[in-house]
């Protein structure tokens, strides 16, 4: 469900448009603007120097909404507020340019930040928070801000359609962002007769359930398959009153139009590597690779494409297939002037396997005269589409089955249909491999065919999968995924034209049981691990305190660094263990905002990529790479300085002198690094000694960063 909601939010942004607010007179508009400004200024202090004012007005669900802005462009200060005609403030943002975005020790704790946030919300609307509950998380997504989230509760049940998010700068204590979605007119279904959680789980298992599939992931530049359990249909849920299966009606606004699908398909194609002329010449020498002339002849002979002699081959590109590294694709684009007076051009794009000549993608469009009526029923259009797929790509078509869980959004019903077919291997679906076809029901033509297919991949034996009962145990375990009741907007009695643009408020919200976790519902069918969409074990990226620091003399300092997302990857600090180079580098990357650590990769891969980035950026050299070596204090000083990009300064000879008693023990080539690190208060001495050859501990690695930040 979280995935559905996330998609809904994204597509809402894509398809919502602004309608000019209509007023009976200019005077009423002026009065409305005056009231909006006064209402904002009664609740929010607008700095006097933000004296440039701007605004716009739009209408949503019949409610007039004002976007008001105050700015001081010279100092780059901006405040923006969204308020409706009822003086309800749903959005606020504040920004002031600063040339210094270095990390600092926060002046405000997280609890103080929450107090500031809730005071601000109550200032805008005193009763609002009483309807919301805090969503607990330990995620510090931005180092300089605390982010707090709230979800509306009705009858003690979450309604994820209504949320509050607010951010507070942890150094200034200023609220930087506030956003609230709140349905004023929605009627909520009574919770008096809901079925129990156990009844809902039973209904889910029997009527919806999980299915065993083959998913794909990238592993060392190769596509490999893995067995996974996923929901049979993510667009459906269990009605909390009847126990029956219901479709998420809000999904009418989630699903993609064929245009959007084509844009996504073309963006995937754009991700491919374009070959240089020299590489193209080399590829031509490969046996069996077809020329563009051969494929041009083949394409023009395909009746469904309707490429008459008026079409010109406008471009032809040979690219590497991003999904199949040993394959190449020809991308052919045709154009034809269909109206010389208006210079109207029709375009057809086709991509084909450069070796076999098999079609991969096709796209075009047709202009139909105004008033043209839809020609076919959905079943008739599907029959035509089936025949065309079987004709164009018989090899793929023989390995797929129709996906009746797929829904394609279209602004006007029945004007076009999009059908999806998923690959089947050893009786299991492969959701990442599929065919789609779009039928234009006005012109009577197919306008797109897309094949997304992985070649030369090995499939594990399905017998390796854990029992589905075990998968259900994982799904229903709140510590892993979870299943629970919540309200969901119901648009079942609303016509499609009434929800374009997307309605902020539904007429009612009904109760349903949903997979309640924000994690992806992808269960590794061999290990039982929860996976992300890349096929890697899911990492929440939540920054939480170490489990073994209670009572540590530096407990508070360590917690503050954790709050800044400066921490080791492990859940235990192991304070007295020797500090390994790779672990210190992780801290230094986070200190210096070097986004070299792939949080979606496994630990080993993440470390490998970090080193690659550090070497490519010149921060370290190949010879300095020693991930599992333990660092001495002088080596730690060296890398601390190099990560600050002060290595060249540290290398200057004859200008550094150390006051440490044991300065003579410092390696001559590291003296500059030690002097700079100690001058920055990162590496301090002990009773006047630096102890350059002593091994650093993991705690000392953290404290070197804390000391540096606290002295900035």
| Residue corresponding to tokens 């077809």 | 290
Lowest mean pLDDT among 280-289, 366-375, 495-504, 572-581: 495-504
Which 3 state secondary structure label does DSSP give 62? coil
**Radius of gyration of the CA atoms of the chain, in A:** 30
- Which residues on adjacent β-strands are paired with residue 102? none
pLDDT tens digit sequence for 642-658: 999 999 999 999 999 99
pLDDT tens digit sequence for 115-136: 999 999 999 999 999 999 999 7
| 604 token code pair | 């080993």
Please state, in angstroms and rounded to a whole number, the distance separating the CA atoms of residues 632 and 666: 11
CA atoms within 13 A on the CB side of 365: 8
Q: What is the pLDDT of residue 121?
A: 98
| Residue corresponding to tokens 């091994």 | 695
Lowest mean pLDDT among 135-144, 366-375, 392-401, 664-673: 135-144
Instruction: State the DSSP H helix or E strand holding residue 120, giving kind and residue range, or none if neither.
Output: helix 110-124
Secondary structure, 3-state, 266-324 = HHHHHCCCECCHHHHHHHHCCCCCCCHHHHHHHHHCCHHHCCCCCCEEEEEEEEECCCC
Sign of CA dihedral 224, 229, 232, 236: negative
Structure confidence at residue 9 as a pLDDT band (50, 70, 90): very low
Lowest mean pLDDT among 382-391, 499-508, 533-542: 499-508
Instruction: State the DSSP H helix or E strand holding residue 556, giving kind and residue range, or none if neither.
Output: helix 555-563
Residue 413 has pLDDT above 80, yes or no: no
As a whole number of Å, the end-to-end CA separation of the chain is 45
| 576 token code pair | 């007295």
- Closest by alpha carbon to 460, among 535, 563, 355, 369? 535
- Closest by alpha carbon to 479, among 538, 533, 534, 535? 538
- Is-contact 313 296, C-beta < 8 A? yes
pLDDT tens digit sequence for 56-66: 988 777 788 99
Structure confidence at residue 53 as a pLDDT band (50, 70, 90): very high
Lowest mean pLDDT among 62-66, 85-89, 176-180: 62-66
Please state, in angstroms and rounded to a whole number, the distance separating the CA atoms of residues 169 and 103: 12
Please state, in angstroms and rounded to a whole number, the distance separating the CA atoms of residues 22 and 64: 9
């Amino acid at each position: 469900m979280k995935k559905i909601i996330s998609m809904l939010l994204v597509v809402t942004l894509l398809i919502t448009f602004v309608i000019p607010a209509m007023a009976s007179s200019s005077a009423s508009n002026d009065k409305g603007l005056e009231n909006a400004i006064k209402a904002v200024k009664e609740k929010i202090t607008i700095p006097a120097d933000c004296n440039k004012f701007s605004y716009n007005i739009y209408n949503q669900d019949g409610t007039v909404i004002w976007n008001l802005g105050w700015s001081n462009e010279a100092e780059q200060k901006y405040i923006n507020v969204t308020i409706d005609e009822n003086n309800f403030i749903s959005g606020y943002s504040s920004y002031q340019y600063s040339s210094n975005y270095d990390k600092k020790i926060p002046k405000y704790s997280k609890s103080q930040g929450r107090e500031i946030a809730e005071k601000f919300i109550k200032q805008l609307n005193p009763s609002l928070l009483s309807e919301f509950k805090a969503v607990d998380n330990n995620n510090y997504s931005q180092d300089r801000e605390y982010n707090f989230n709230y979800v509306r509760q009705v009858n003690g049940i979450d309604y994820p359609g209504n949320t509050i998010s607010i951010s507070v700068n942890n150094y200034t204590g200023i609220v930087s962002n506030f956003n609230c979605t709140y349905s004023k007119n929605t009627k909520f279904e009574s919770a008096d007769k809901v079925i129990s959680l156990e009844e809902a789980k039973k209904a889910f298992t029997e009527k919806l359930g999980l299915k065993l599939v083959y998913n794909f992931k990238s592993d060392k530049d190769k596509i490999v398959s893995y067995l996974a359990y996923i929901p049979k249909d993510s667009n459906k849920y269990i009605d909390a009153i009847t126990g029956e299966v219901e479709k998420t009606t809000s999904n009418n606004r989630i699903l993609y139009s064929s245009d959007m699908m084509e844009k996504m398909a073309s963006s995937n194609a754009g991700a491919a590597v374009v070959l240089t002329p020299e590489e193209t010449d080399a590829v031509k020498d490969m046996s069996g690779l077809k020329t563009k002339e051969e494929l041009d002849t083949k394409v023009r002979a395909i009746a469904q494409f309707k490429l008459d002699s008026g079409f010109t081959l406008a471009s032809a590109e040979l690219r590497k297939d991003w999904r199949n590294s040993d394959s190449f694709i020809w991308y052919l684009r045709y154009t034809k002037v269909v109206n010389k007076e208006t210079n109207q051009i029709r375009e057809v794009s086709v991509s084909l396997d450069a070796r076999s000549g098999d079609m991969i993608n096709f796209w075009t469009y047709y202009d139909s005269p105004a008033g043209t009526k839809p020609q076919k029923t959905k079943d008739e259009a599907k029959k035509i589409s089936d025949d065309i797929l079987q004709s164009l790509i018989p090899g793929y078509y023989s390995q797929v089955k129709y996906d009746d869980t797929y829904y394609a959004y279209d602004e006007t019903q029945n004007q076009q249909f999009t059908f999806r077919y998923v690959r089947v291997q050893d009786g299991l679906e492969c959701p990442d491999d599929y065919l789609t076809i779009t039928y234009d029901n006005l012109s009577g033509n197919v306008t797109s065919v897309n094949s997304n297919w992985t070649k030369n991949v090995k499939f594990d034996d399905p017998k390796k999968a854990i029992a589905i009962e075990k998968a259900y145990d994982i799904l229903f375990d709140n510590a892993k995924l979870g299943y629970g009741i919540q309200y969901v907007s119901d648009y079942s009695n609303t016509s499609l034209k009434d929800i374009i643009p997307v309605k902020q408020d539904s007429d009612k919200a009904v109760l349903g049981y949903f997979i309640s976790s924000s994690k992806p519902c992808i269960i590794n069918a061999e290990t039982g691990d929860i996976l992300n969409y890349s096929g890697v074990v899911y990492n929440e990226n939540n920054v939480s305190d170490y489990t073994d620091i209670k009572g540590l003399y530096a407990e508070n300092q360590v917690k503050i660094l954790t709050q800044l997302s400066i921490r080791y990857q492990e859940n235990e600090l192991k304070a007295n263990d020797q500090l390994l180079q790779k672990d210190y580098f992780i801290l230094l990357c986070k200190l210096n905002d070097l986004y070299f650590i792939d949080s979606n990769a496994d630990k080993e891969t993440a470390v490998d990529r970090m080193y690659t980035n550090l070497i490519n950026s010149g921060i370290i050299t190949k010879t300095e790479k020693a991930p599992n070596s333990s660092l001495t204090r002088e080596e730690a000083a060296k890398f601390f300085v190099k990560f600050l990009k002060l290595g060249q300064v540290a290398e200057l000879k004859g200008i550094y002198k150390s006051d440490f008693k044991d300065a003579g023990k410092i390696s001559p080539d590291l003296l500059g690094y030690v002097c700079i690190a100690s001058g920055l208060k990162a590496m301090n001495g002990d009773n006047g000694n630096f102890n350059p050859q002593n091994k650093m501990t993991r705690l000392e690695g953290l404290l070197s960063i804390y000391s540096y930040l606290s002295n900035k």
